[in-house]
Amino acid sequence: MKHAYLTDLVKSVERRNPHEDEFLQAVREVMESLEPVAERRPDLIEAGVFDRIVEPERAISFRVSWVNDSGKVEVNRGYRVQFNSAIGPYKGGLRLHPSVNLSIIKFLGFEQILKNSLTTLPMGGAKGGSDFDPKGKSDGEVMRFCQSFMTELEKHIGQFTDVPAGDIGVGGREIGYMYGQYKRIRNETAGVLTGKGLPFGGSLVRTEATGYGLCYFTREMLASRGLSFKDKTVVISGSGNVAIYAAEKAAQLGAKVVALSDSGGYIHDPAGIKLDVVKQIKELERGRIAEYSKRVAGSSYHKNCSGIWTVKCDIALPSATQNELDLESAKILVKNGVAAVAEGANMPTCPEAVAWFLDHQVLFGPAKAANAGGVATSGLEMSQNSLRLSWTFAEVDERLDEIMTGIYHAASKAAAEYGKAGNLVTGANIAGFLKVAEAMKAQGIAY
Ligand code: NDP
Ligand code: 2IT
């Protein structure tokens, strides 16, 4: 970083948020990208926009106690970080994973501000979750946890205030239990969560949206070099919601997806992954991806999930979790001739690995832009709830495609305008930031 003001700002964020590694990583990346904006827009510095955007408007931490199947009381920690409401109600997912802490929720909430701005829909940025581990829990335990979690969260959210959704460990089942509890307490059927079931206000395509959107974005990125998914080999990490539907769309666009993973290891199927088998294992049985190799002849399972990046591919879509693709893996991918990398997960690529891809002319789609399809479709769910209408699958899918195509072009244009042509990391950060910054400036500061 060269810009003196932003350098000092990052130092101050480091001082004030010690031990928040993921949050600091996200802030450093964004502020580095915003250097050309800080140079051209002293008015935004004067309005304190850079200083204000790195501080959450509100961060809530709360106790979630519940009773397990053996009758024992369990205690988890819940969070909701309401980061920025300049352009709309707080919006962002809830993550249930034992690794969840304030740093992870703050990094996700901070990124969400710019991502949501890129969708062009009126949504502010937030994130929440808990260190509850859904793995190995019964349906009843998950339900009691979700009810207890919502008993506190309910006080802080609302359709015009804050609209949570899913993320790691939170899918249709969890949203259903949370929505039921919200409705019981508040006696209202507002569209206060997205990712709801189709019979009670959910939107078609929300389940598929992040993965499909990731492929629409990647399709545009590839087209900028005259390339496409057709006959390409694709590797996708993870085997959850994002990975499964990225695999489905990549195959529909003519590619062959040959590897998927979970935190235990990865599967390799040179003939192309059979998605019906994956869906059966992951969505219906809630099983492990290792099971695939037992059911599909010719496929293999390998322990160590980061080994997935040694599988030769043209397109890599990291879609599991943060910092899952390091420099060493980036070097292997480049050596194996990867043409494009796009992030389905949030911040899956370590900073040194991002730099390696950019330095080696690999097309690189950053998370804020590439995985915005999930929250964009959440925005469309909110619109449908307000209209008391539901759109068809084709209508929502078409809007999603338009939004993702628009995000690619907005990021690409901003990168060129600010002297970083082809750098979509910089372009996405600038394009997302400018709208929020104008809104923050226009709304003034409370003295
Ligand atoms: P799921 O819970 O459906 O799936 C998560 C997948 O990632 C699982 O295969 C899981 O494996 C794997 N995973 C989780 N933690 C780790 C880890 N520490 N190391 C290796 N693998 C891991 O979540 P989603 O698919 O919804 O989310 C995946 C990513 O996409 C996250 O980064 C999320 O923030 C991001 N995202 C999600 C959106 C959505 O709409 N759902 C929207 C935009 C981004 P295991 O079962 O072994 O834990
Ligand atoms: O990271 C993300 O964008 C999400 N988990 C989706 C958030 C949402 O509100 O749909």
Strand partners, 317: 236
Residue-wise pLDDT tens digits, 296-315: 999 999 999 999 999 999 99
Ligand 2 proximity of 346 Cβ (cutoff 6 Å): yes
Residue-wise pLDDT tens digits, 131-162: 999 999 999 999 999 999 999 999 999 999 99
Distances in Å between the Cα of 223 and the Cα atoms of 54, 118, 229, 230 are 35, 20, 9, 11
CA nearest neighbour of 351 among 92, 10, 33, 99: 33
Residue-wise pLDDT tens digits, 5-54: 999 999 999 999 999 999 999 999 999 999 999 999 999 999 999 999 99
Residue-wise pLDDT tens digits, 235-275: 999 999 999 999 999 999 999 999 999 999 999 999 999 99
Q: What is the DSSP string of 364-412?
A: EE-HHHHTTHHHHHHHHHHHHHHHT----HHHHHHHHHHHHHHHHHHHH
Alpha carbon nearest to ligand 2 atom 4, residue = 93
* Ligand 2 centre distance from Cα of residue 166 (Å): 6
Res. 164 pLDDT band, cuts 50 70 90: very high
* Ligand 1 centre distance from Cα of residue 7 (Å): 32
Radius of gyration of the chain, Cα coordinates, nearest whole angstrom:
21
Ligand nearest to the CA of 168: 1
Neighbours of 297 (CB within 10 A): 8
User: Domain 4-189: what homologous superfamily?
Assistant: Leucine Dehydrogenase, chain A, domain 1 (3.40.50.10860)
pLDDT at 1: 86
* Ligand 1 centre distance from Cα of residue 166 (Å): 10
Ligand 1 proximity of 349 Cβ (cutoff 6 Å): no
What amino acid is encoded at 170 in this protein? V
Alpha carbon nearest to ligand 2 atom 10, residue = 375
* Ligand 1 centre distance from Cα of residue 169 (Å): 7
Atom of ligand 2 nearest to the CA of 371: 3
Residue-wise pLDDT tens digits, 401-443: 999 999 999 999 999 999 999 999 999 999 999 999 999 999 9
Mean pLDDT, residues 389-395: 98
Ligand nearest to the CA of 88: 2
pLDDT at 27: 98
Q: Which two tokens stand for residue 133?
A: 């581990």
pLDDT at 48: 97
Alpha carbon nearest to ligand 1 atom 23, residue = 168
What angle is formed at CA 363 by the lines to CA 358 and CA 368, rounded to 5 degrees? 90
Alpha carbon nearest to ligand 1 atom 41, residue = 167
Ligand nearest to the CA of 320: 1
Q: Domain residue spans in the chain? A: 4-189, 209-361
Phi-psi domain of 323 (left: phi exceeds 0; alpha: psi -120 through 50; beta: other): left
Global confidence as pTM: 0.98
Listing from the earlier edge strand, what are the strands of the sheet with 315-317? Answer: 300-303, 265-268, 256-262, 233-236, 315-317, 340-342, 363-365
Atom of ligand 1 nearest to the CA of 171: 3
* Ligand 1 centre distance from Cα of residue 41 (Å): 37
Ligand 2 proximity of 194 Cβ (cutoff 6 Å): yes
Q: Which two tokens stand for residue 162?
A: 């804050």
Q: Where are the alpha helices (DSSP H) in 78-205?
A: 102-118, 139-153, 172-186
Ligand 2 proximity of 375 Cβ (cutoff 6 Å): yes
- Residue given tokens 């600091």 in the structure block: 24
Ligand 1 proximity of 88 Cβ (cutoff 6 Å): no
Residue-wise pLDDT tens digits, 179-201: 999 999 999 988 999 999 999 99
- Residue given tokens 């998927």 in the structure block: 260
Distant-in-sequence, close-in-space partners of 148: CB < 8 Å, separation ≥ 6: 64, 65, 66
* Ligand 1 centre distance from Cα of residue 441 (Å): 35
Q: Is the pLDDT of residue 123 over 80?
A: yes
H or E stretch covering 223: helix 206-223
First-to-last C-alpha distance (Å) of the chain: 31
Q: Which of 91, 106, 115, 127 is catalytic?
A: 127
Q: For residues 180 and 147, what is the distance between their CA atoms, to the nearest angstrom?
A: 8
* Ligand 1 centre distance from Cα of residue 437 (Å): 30
> Residue 127 catalytic?
yes
Res. 447 pLDDT band, cuts 50 70 90: confident
Average pLDDT over the chain, rounded to an integer: 98
Give me the architecture of the 209-361 domain, per CATH: 3-Layer(aba) Sandwich (3.40)
Ligand 1 proximity of 263 Cβ (cutoff 6 Å): yes
Atom of ligand 2 nearest to the CA of 375: 10
Give the strand pairing for 162-165 and 90-96: parallel
In CATH terms, are 4-189 and 209-361 the same topology? yes
